[in-house]
Amino acid sequence: MRLLATRTRIVLEGTWVVALCALAIFLTWDHTRGDSVTIDEPLHLFAGAEYLSHGVLFTNPEHPPLAKDLAAWSLLGTMDLTPPAIVPGAPLPPLPELVTFLRANRVPYTEILSRARMPFRWLLALLIVVVYLAARVASGTPAAMLASALIALDPNFIAHAGVVHTDVAAALLMTLAVVLLIAAPGGSALRWLLAGLVLGLAIATKFTALVLVPLALLAPLFLLLEPGTSRRKLAESVAGSLIACILATFVVYAVYAMNMRDMHPDDAALASATFLRSRNADPATLTRYANLTRRAPEVGMFLSGMKGVQLASSNGRGWNYLHGKISRRGFPQYFFVAYLVKSTPALLLVTAAILAGGKRLQNRWSIGALTTVGVLFAVSIPSSFNIGVRHILPAVPLLAIVGASVLASRLSRRAFAIAATALIVSAAGSLASIHPFELGYFNFIGGPEWLSDSNVDWGQDLDRMHALLRERGWEHDTTVIVLSFPILHEVEQYRPFDGVVRPGRYATSAFMEHVGPSVTRDDEGPAAAEALQRMMDALRTRGRRIAQVGSSITIWELPSGDSWTDHVAPCHPERRASKKLPVFAGSKRTLIGGCLTPLIRPSATFSPQEPGGRRLSIFVLAMNRS
């Protein structure tokens, strides 16, 4: 009977995990069917294909190559693609080469994008499994069921699992590395070897994973929490942690060596210098890193990427936005606020439960996980690069594991079952309320007026916008201002904004109202910025919202002459449900409550005068398809 009960429990637990994974995979696939290419995806696709096809690493050295390799493997291993052209010394490829690879290849562009995105939803499924197993070991099956459901039903994970980027891959590998490092002390050498392997893979995916190195070195101290630990066991764990760090170093080196296998040291030095010059590094830094990269290409490119990220974090890469405020230096509270307004209420409640943990937190699982979370948030405080909650996604699984464990330990079995059910239902409701527009999810605390960039508008709704304009016959008389690589979105004709506010129909993408004038002032001067601000003021005070496309694009009607009235008030959080706008979702329409601020961002394009250079330019698009 006991054996039968054990088998039944295993089947039920397996069914739970498989169901969550299947749901997460389906929801991710479902929203990507309507999502257009996001801003960073073309670069990651081009870069990964460049690495694997040519064995050189010129493009996008600011991110380690592993996640880009994964996307490229899914393409080059199954499709008859023409590899991208090599552009020496271009950390961002010129637009013609980018478009040739993505738009003029032997395989349709939509199929390329769909195939490249596919692996990342499976990484989310693996993350759900890791969270379940870790929570089960730490606190038992009930906590595991709750923690894994919170991840599977999280709109942020569903959103980013449909994007070719580093964030979900980093969350998976960092969570697994933390779990293995916590479990390794006192265990066999194999545990340390596995921990070192996964730590290396995490670092080869995203530089953020370097915050785990101190945990790896200090992990043997977890044995001091256990009475009767011998000095020999402690010494063995110290040796194991050192071996894990050495192995991680070799893994990172091997990943870079594989991607740079045919790269001449002089080309590597050129790539380092060009990239760091784009980050405004001083001449001495450029020379130092170029010389290092020439002597040791793999080490030099890794360190150059780290230095570029550090420069972006300290100096910023443009303007940051937080709830009506704009700053070049960033906001110390940014990622705390982002977690607060972008997390589901269920996840926030589970996070809050950690505060009631007390002595229940005095174990290696809670200490290791919360220390990692604390370090992640601590290093985010001085950052001048505030562009999205996705940068702290690795903290979410750890908080879910610890919070679920605390609830399971403090509540009776019946009380926990009721609480967990309510939390899971709440998380499911949050996800259902935004699907298939998960990238723009906000909870009841915040809204689109709180954050910008990849929190709301990454270019994901442009295909939906084109479909709406075509369906309604508005394509010839609608002015469109968006953040995108224009030619990748079937947009054919552009003319620069002439500074004149005219009556008519406008389609605007999120947050240009706040960020656009500042960015435009830097790139195109005060006159262009003031003209854009006048247009934004006119839309905000005189315009009428007539439709919402996805979560990031608003369709406006700007009346003419004396009919203009100041009837559109600024958005206030307490009035978010006061208006109903038709939301267009491709083949599906629904209604969504929301007082949505009209926000727009500039189009991103490349300067033809500077190979690989990136220039922000404001465009007014007169869609004209005759």
Torsion sign, CA atoms 471, 475, 481, 483? positive
Among 257, 285, 315, give the residue marking a domain's end: 315
Sign (positive or negative) of CA dihedral 149, 150, 151, 156:
positive
Q: Is residue 572 part of a domain?
A: yes
Segment 440-486, tens digit of pLDDT: 999 999 888 899 888 998 889 888 888 888 888 888 788 887 766 55
The mean per-residue pLDDT over the stretch 391-400 comes to 97
Residue 438 lies in a domain: no
Confidence at residue 221, expressed as pLDDT on a 0 to 100 scale: 93
Mark 567-582 as b/e (b = at least 16 C-beta within 10 Å).
Answer: ebeebeeeebeeeebe
How far is 623 from 617, CA to CA, in rounded Å? Answer: 17
Can you tell me the mean pLDDT for 240-267? Answer: 97
Residue 365 · residue 138 · CB < 8 Å: yes
Residue 242: per-residue pLDDT: 97
What is the Cα 185 distance to its own chain's centre?
A: 32
- Per-residue pLDDT at 565 exceeds 80: no
Alpha-carbon distances, residue 16 vs 20, 151, 168, 248, 469 (angstroms): 6, 13, 21, 33, 42
Q: What is the CA radius of gyration of the chain?
A: 25
Residue 1 binned pLDDT confidence (cut-offs 50, 70, 90): low
* Residues in contact with 290: Cβ distance below 8 Å, sequence separation at least 6, in sequence order: 269, 270, 272, 273, 300
pLDDT of amino acid 160? 97
**pTM tops 0.75:** yes
- Examine residue 392 and state whether it is found in any structural domain, yes or no: no
Tens-digit pLDDT profile for residues 428-443: 999 999 999 999 999 9
Q: Would you say residue 329 lies in a domain?
A: no
pLDDT value of residue 594: 29
Band of residue 56 on the pLDDT scale cut at 50, 70, 90: very high
Rounded average pLDDT over 19-48: 94
Peptide bond between residue 94 and the one before it cis (omega within 30 degrees of 0): no
Q: Which of 254, 289, 315 is the last residue of a domain?
A: 315
pLDDT recorded at residue 497: 57
pLDDT at res. 139: 93
HEC profile of 165-219? CCHHHHHHHHHHHHHHHHHCCCCCHHHHHHHHHHHHHHHCCCHHHHHHHHHHHHH
Domain count, the chain: 2
| Domain-terminating residue out of 283, 315, 347 | 315
Residue carrying the six token digits 């894990």: 244
Residue 465 lies in a domain: yes
Which of 161-170, 333-342, 469-478, 577-586 comes out lowest in average pLDDT?
577-586
Residue 404 lies in a domain: no
Q: Is residue 617 part of a domain?
A: yes
pLDDT at 586: 47
Structural domain includes residue 249 = no
Q: Which domain holds residue 307?
A: 265-315
In DSSP terms, 495 is beta-bridged to: 620
